[in-house]
Amino acid sequence: MSPELVKKGSYIGSKADIWAMGVVMYLMMVGSLPFRASNEPELHRLISTGKYRYREDTISAGAKKMISQMLQISPDSRPSAQLLLADSWLC
């Protein structure tokens, strides 16, 4: 769930989808979710603040950069799918 959904703010599907792709990419690269908590309020706090860490040193700088772009708190700061597909890390 993206920060804007956690905060019950406005929903822009494409921007929320980019956030979700960032979560999935993190999961695929690291093997765990970027936001983990023992209860829902704590999970919502972590998502709302965008606080996460990498537990693996095997993730490339390019992958970290792409994930960090997708996991921006502000939906307006997240790149479009077209920009992500043009990223040199994917090419």
Residues with Cβ within 8 Å of 75's Cβ and at least 6 positions away in sequence, in order, are 2, 4, 12, 15, 16, 19
pLDDT per residue as tens digits for the range 16-59: 999 999 999 999 999 999 999 999 999 999 999 998 988 767 78
Domain map (residue ranges) of the chain: 3-85
Q: CA 51, 33, 41: angle at the middle one, nearest 5? A: 60
Domain 3-85: assigned CATH number: 1.10.510.10
Q: What is the pLDDT of residue 90?
A: 87
